[in-house]
Chains A and B, each alone.
Chain A
C-alpha cells in the first residue's frame, strides 16, 4: 500500500514539475511583461539620483535630487527634492500613481513662489528636467496598456534574454512600439528600444548596473540614448535603501515645502 502511495505521489510531483517547466517554456509576451511588472520592489525605496545630460558636442549638465517612493497598496507615492543646480535647489515634485488606472496626481513646489501647485498629469510625453526620459518612461507602465509579442530569445552581455515587442493599445501614445530585452533568470529588463510614431528607432535604454538591496532587485545605473538627436542621459542612484519604513508624512505638503 505504501509503495502505491509513494508511486502516486512521485507521479503527481513529476506531472506538476513537468507542467510547470512547460508553462515557463511557453511564456508568452504578455506573461513575461506581467512578471516584469510584478517584480517585488519593497514597500519603500529612497536614494539620491544624479542625472548627467550629454549633448552631441559632449557638453554635460548635471542634475541631482533625492527621491523617496512608498507603496501604499493601491497608491504608489513618489516625492523628489531637487538639490542641484543652484537655480532649482529647493524645488520639489510629488506624484501619486494609482493601480486603478485613475490619472496620477502631481504637484510641484517652487521655493521662489512658496506655493505648492497642482499640475496636470496629462503631459507624460514631456521630458523630465530636460533629460531624455519622459515622465512616462520613469513611471510603471501597466502591461495591460500594450499588446505584447515574444519575438525571440537571445544572449545580451552573456545573459539569456526574452525579446518582447510591446505595441500600445492607445494609438495616440508617443511610441509606436517598444522592444525590451528581459533576463530570463530574474525578469529584469536589461535593454529597451523606443520607436517613434513613424516606427523609427528613437531612443535606447540600457541598464548598466543592478544589485539586490535588502533582498530586492534594484536598478542603480541606466543610460537613455536618443539616437535621433544624439543626446543621452545617464541616471545613477546612490545611497539606495529599501524597506526602511518611510513615514506617510513624507508625502505631504509639509514635506514638499520643507524640501526634505
Chain B
C-alpha cells in the first residue's frame, strides 16, 4: 500500500514537472462511481474513485501518449494501471505506433465480432464505458495510407487474455458443474515467446457513399476453453471428482464490416469466421469435454434519427458450424441490442436507453441512463442496470439489478 501511495505521489510530481518544464499537455478526469444493488440488504456493488491522467505530445514526425489511471475502492486494494503508453512515428504515407495501445475494429456497437485486437476487462461484466472495457495491448502497429484506403498490420508479441471477475465477485460467470471441481491452471498461461505472438491485419476504405473493412487475425482467443477431466468411482460408476483446466487456444479469424447511408438511415453489418475455437460438450466420446468447431459471428444494424431521438438497433447471431448434439452452447445464439438517445436543453441533459436482449434464453440487460452537464467538463450521471430472465448471458445476473451515480470532472 505504501509503495502504491509512493507511486501516486511520484506520478503527481511527474505531472507537475512535465507540465511546467516540457510543456506536455495534460488532460484526464476524476470520477466517483457508486452503485447499489436494488435487492435487500442493498449492498454496494461498487464504490470506486478514479483518477485518469493522459499526457500526450505530438509534433509533425513523432508523438507519445502516457495514460495511467488509479482506481481507489473502499473494499479492495488500490489499483494502478496503464490504459495506454505508446510512441508514434509519422512518415509521409505511413505511421508506426509501438507500445501499449487500444486498437478498435468493426462497426458493431456493444458487441465484439471483428473487434478482437484489444482484450476486454469484464471484471464488472459489460457495465463500464466501452473505452474502459477494451484494454490496451502491447504491440507494434503499422498503418499505410493511400487516399481513402488504409492498410494496417498489428504484431502483438505477448498474449493478453480477457480480465475476468474474481471468483467471489457478483459478476463471476455462472459455471454449472455437477461436483465442486478442482482447478488446474497448468495450461492457463501462454509463454511469452515468438512462436506464441499474434498477428492481425486490416484493410479499410472510407469514402463517398460507404465504408468497409476486411480483417484477419491469427491469435489466441481471449476467453479460455474449459477442458474437463472426470474421475469416476469404479465401485459406483458415479462421478467422484472433476478437474477443470482452462486453456487458451489459437484461432484464425477472417471477416469484415461495412457502413452504408441510405437516405436518413445508416445500415451497418459485420461478420467473422473463426477457426480453432473450442466449445464445451456433454458428449462422453470427446476427450476433455471440449470439442473444436468453427463458428460464424455476425450482425446487422440500423441507425436512424426520429424527432431528435437517435435510434439504433442491431441483430447479432453466433452460429456453430458442423454442430453436434451435446455442445452446451446453442447452435445459433441470437441477441439484439437497442439504443435510444436524446439531448435536451442544448446538450446539457442526455437521456439514453441501451438494452441487450438475449433471444435464446429470453433474458435482457436494460440500461436507462441520464447525464447532466452541471458545468463545462463536469457531468453528473445517474442510471440503472436491470437484468431480466433467470439464465443466459444476462439472466444469470438477475440478482444484480442496481442503480448508480457517477460524478466526473474532465480537465
A residues touching B (Cβ–Cβ < 8 Å)? 53, 55, 61-62, 75, 85-87, 89, 96, 98, 102-103, 105, 107, 112-123, 126-127, 129-131, 231, 248-249, 252-254, 258, 260
Q: Give the chain A neighbours of B103 by CB distance below 8 A.
A: 114
Residues B377 and A85 in contact, CB atoms below 8 Å apart: yes
Residues A103 and B129 in contact, CB atoms below 8 Å apart: no
- Pick the residue among B27, B107, B261, B348 that contacts A86 (CB under 8 A): B27
In the bound complex, CA of A140 to CA of B348 (Å): 28
Residues B209 and A113 in contact, CB atoms below 8 Å apart: no
Give chain B interface residues in 167-221, CB to chain A under 8 Å: 204, 206-209, 211
Residues B348 and A130 in contact, CB atoms below 8 Å apart: yes
Min C-beta distance of A63 to chain B, whole Å: 9
Q: Give the chain A neighbours of B376 by CB distance below 8 A.
A: 61-62, 85-87
Residues A253 and B259 in contact, CB atoms below 8 Å apart: no
Q: 19 A–B contact pairs at CB < 8 A?
A: A61-B346, A61-B376, A85-B377, A87-B377, A87-B379, A89-B27, A103-B263, A105-B207, A112-B129, A115-B104, A117-B107, A118-B211, A119-B303, A126-B305, A127-B347, A130-B346, A130-B348, A252-B148, A253-B204
Given contacts A116-B206, A118-B259, A254-B145, 5 further A-B contacts (CB under 8 A): A119-B303, A120-B265, A120-B266, A122-B264, A129-B347
Residues A105 and B209 in contact, CB atoms below 8 Å apart: yes
**Total residues of chain B contacting the partner, CB 8 A:** 43
Residues A254 and B266 in contact, CB atoms below 8 Å apart: no
Q: Give the chain A neighbours of B148 by CB distance below 8 A.
A: 252-253
Kindly state whether residue B410 has any CB partner on chain A within 8 Å: yes
Q: Give the chain B neighbours of A75 by CB distance below 8 A.
A: 208
Kindly state whether residue B124 has any CB partner on chain A within 8 Å: no
A105, A126, A131 — which one has the most chain B CB atoms within 10 A of its CB?
A105
A53, A86, A103, A131 — which one has the most chain B CB atoms within 10 A of its CB?
A86
Q: Give the chain A neighbours of B346 by CB distance below 8 A.
A: 53, 55, 61, 127, 130-131, 231
In the bound complex, CA of A168 to CA of B394 (Å): 50
Min C-beta distance of B25 to chain A, whole Å: 9
B residues touching A (Cβ–Cβ < 8 Å)? 27, 29, 58, 95, 102-104, 107, 129-131, 134, 143, 145, 147-148, 150, 204, 206-209, 211, 259, 261, 263-266, 303-305, 308, 343, 346-348, 376-377, 379, 408, 410-411
In the bound complex, CA of A47 to CA of B101 (Å): 31
User: What number of residue pairs across chains A and B have CB atoms under 8 A from each other?
Assistant: 97
Min C-beta distance of B331 to chain A, whole Å: 31
Residues A105 and B261 in contact, CB atoms below 8 Å apart: yes
Residues A86 and B411 in contact, CB atoms below 8 Å apart: yes
In the bound complex, CA of A127 to CA of B308 (Å): 10
Q: Give the chain A neighbours of B209 by CB distance below 8 A.
A: 102, 105
User: In this complex, what residue of B is CB-closest to A226?
Assistant: B346
In the bound complex, CA of A131 to CA of B263 (Å): 25
Q: Give the chain B neighbours of A130 by CB distance below 8 A.
A: 343, 346-348
Residues B145 and A120 in contact, CB atoms below 8 Å apart: no
Min C-beta distance of A62 to chain B, whole Å: 7
Q: Give the chain A neighbours of B102 by CB distance below 8 A.
A: 114
Min C-beta distance of B61 to chain A, whole Å: 13
- Pick the residue among B27, B206, B343 that contacts A253 (CB under 8 A): B206
Assuming the A-B contacts A86-B377, A123-B264, A126-B305, are A252 and B145 also in contact, with contact meaning beta carbons closer than 8 angstroms in the complex? yes
Q: Give the chain B neighbours of A61 by CB distance below 8 A.
A: 346, 376
- Pick the residue among A120, A248, A254 that contacts B304 (CB under 8 A): A120
In the bound complex, CA of A95 to CA of B329 (Å): 44
Q: Give the chain B neighbours of A131 by CB distance below 8 A.
A: 346
User: In this complex, what residue of B is CB-closest to A258?
Assistant: B58
Residues A254 and B261 in contact, CB atoms below 8 Å apart: no
User: In this complex, what residue of A is CB-closest to B265?
Assistant: A120
Residues A103 and B150 in contact, CB atoms below 8 Å apart: no
- Pick the residue among A102, A114, A254 that contacts B143 (CB under 8 A): A254
In the bound complex, CA of A254 to CA of B151 (Å): 11
Min C-beta distance of A227 to chain B, whole Å: 16
Residues A85 and B347 in contact, CB atoms below 8 Å apart: no
Residues B264 and A120 in contact, CB atoms below 8 Å apart: yes
In the bound complex, CA of A120 to CA of B303 (Å): 8
Min C-beta distance of A71 to chain B, whole Å: 15
In the bound complex, CA of A40 to CA of B264 (Å): 31
Q: Give the chain B neighbours of A119 by CB distance below 8 A.
A: 266, 303
Assuming the A-B contacts A119-B303, A120-B261, are A260 and B379 also in contact, with contact meaning beta carbons closer than 8 angstroms in the complex? no
In the bound complex, CA of A250 to CA of B384 (Å): 41
Min C-beta distance of A181 to chain B, whole Å: 27
Residues A113 and B379 in contact, CB atoms below 8 Å apart: no
User: In this complex, what residue of A is CB-closest to B118?
Assistant: A114
Assuming the A-B contacts A103-B263, A112-B129, A114-B131, are A120 and B206 also in contact, with contact meaning beta carbons closer than 8 angstroms in the complex? no
Q: Give the chain A neighbours of B408 by CB distance below 8 A.
A: 87
Q: Give the chain A neighbours of B143 by CB distance below 8 A.
A: 254
Residues A85 and B410 in contact, CB atoms below 8 Å apart: yes
In the bound complex, CA of A103 to CA of B410 (Å): 35
Q: Give the chain A neighbours of B410 by CB distance below 8 A.
A: 85-87
Residues B58 and A260 in contact, CB atoms below 8 Å apart: yes
Min C-beta distance of B133 to chain A, whole Å: 11
